[in-house]
Structure 1
Amino acid sequence: MSTDSAPAAEEPDQEPDIAPDHSLPPSLPALFMAFARMSLAGFGGVLVFARRAIVEQHRWMTADEFNETFALCHFLPGPNIVNLSMVFGSRLRGIAGGVAAFAGLLLPPTLIMTGLAIVYARFGDVDLLRRSLAGISCAAVGLLIAVVFRMMTPLLKRMDAIALILMLAVFIAIGVLRLPLQAVLLVAIPVSVGVIFLMRRKVAA
């Protein structure tokens, strides 16, 4: 009779810790196809599907690594998900990987949107089409809220009070007080980096 204890049942409402698979970096075609699928599935925003594919499906990053990479891309000029494709692809396969991920992300929707733009230019005044677009915008907001809560999971699981306070402070400054984004970032970035640096230095000591 085995003496090994059975693994504890995992809580259904918590996201499992998924270890990344670094045994073999994806090929350039694989990067292109992965980001092409993300872009084609990304109705309401690609971020939801990018996180699911990178963290859960392909296991190319942990949840924490994705959050850190996305945070860097969020503070850079330009669309966040486009920045993410370049940073992520370059991290795995160099400059060629960044180009492959970038092309996969933008090429399919660009072709589709070019065709839809032609259709919209002709039928954009139809009332049914306008109401449909209003409904789609509600779904897009719901998807964005869902991925925000998914990205918060690692912080909540660690109960990192400092990180939660910084996150709440930035939310209040931008979302409630309506302070200029650039001014908030100029303060939030050095404060966040300094606090984390001091915390890690204290732990190492």
Structure 2
Amino acid sequence: MVNPESAHLARQRPTSPSDLFWSFTRLALQGFGGVVAIVQRELVEKKQWLTAEEFVEDWAVAQVMPGPNVVNLSLMIGSRYFGWVGGLAALAGMLLFPLLILLVVVIVFGGLSELPQSQNALRGLGAVAAGMIMAAGLKMAPTLMKNPMGAPVTIVLAASTLIATAWLRMPLPLVLMVLGGIGVGWCYRCLGRPGAANKDAQP
């Protein structure tokens, strides 16, 4: 049996704030629309700064906080390793070069946005971005099935959220308060059961 503390200590981590800056810069420059897929592959599979379970948990927190999800995640990870300096370094890496590229694109190609060719290209990119987000969701599904609430409850909550937001067009704050509150309460109840902590600690 693997000791969770030993596994945590042996896991890779950023070596410095500059490592955070350049790592998140590479993430930002790859993140065309479906950035969650890139972030998961880089931070979990390649760099191994997070486990799959930790990524899902951190992404959930970043999702419900105001602001762009990946920006929130960069602040969380950076501050976890190097405090506020690490948070600012990760944030700068996530925003600096994309902002410069955006300014250049606006200056050079700003007058081409109304052309039919430009609009068709953006529609095509939208389909690709949607596919990347779907792929990331499917990739995270096995981790979600290990949730302490159990697979059936997890599936019901995920499906209810999809129906409420995509079909019923309910306001996102209301969905978060209602379904998010139910999820938090049910998970708290499950973790309070005898033996839940021991079961969760097993590899």
TM-score normalised to structure 1 length: 0.83
Residue 3 (structure 2) aligns with: none
Deviations 1:137-185 (A, max 9, x none): 1111111111111122212367622222222222222222222221111
Q: Say whether residues 1:93 and 2:82 are aligned partners.
A: yes
Q: Say whether residues 1:189 and 2:185 are aligned partners.
A: no
Mapped partners of 1:124, 1:179: distance in 2? 31
Q: How does 1:21-170 map to 2 (within 5 A)?
A: 21-22=10-11, 24-156=13-145, 160-170=151-161
Q: 1:51 to 1:24 in 2, by over 3 A?
A: closer
Higher mean C-alpha displacement, 180-189 vs 63-72: 180-189
Higher mean C-alpha displacement, 131-140 vs 56-65: 131-140
Q: 1:117 to 1:194 in 2, by over 3 A?
A: same
**SS class of match (1:60):** coil
Shift of 1:71: 0.4
Whose Rg is larger? 1
Higher mean C-alpha displacement, 158-167 vs 189-198: 158-167
Residue 201 (structure 2) aligns with: none
Deviations 1:71-103 (A, max 9, x none): 011111111111111111111221111111110
Q: 1:19 to 1:148 in 2, by over 3 A?
A: farther
Which amino acid in structure 2 is aligned with residue 171 of structure 1?
L
Shift of 1:193: 1.3
Q: Which stretches in structure 1 are left out of the alignment for 5+ residues?
A: 1-17
Q: Which stretches in structure 2 are left out of the alignment for 5+ residues?
A: 1-6, 197-203
Kindly indicate whether the alpha-carbon contact (under 8 Å) linking 2:161 and 2:179 is maintained by their aligned counterparts in 1.
yes
Q: Say whether residues 1:175 and 2:163 are aligned partners.
A: no
Root-mean-square deviation over aligned CA pairs: 2.1
Mapped partners of 1:62, 1:105: distance in 2? 21
Mapped partners of 1:87, 1:95: distance in 2? 10
Which amino acid in structure 2 is aligned with residue 56 of structure 1?
E
More helix by share: 2
Q: 1:96 to 1:59 in 2, by over 3 A?
A: same
**SS class of match (2:178):** helix
Percent identity between matched residues is 36
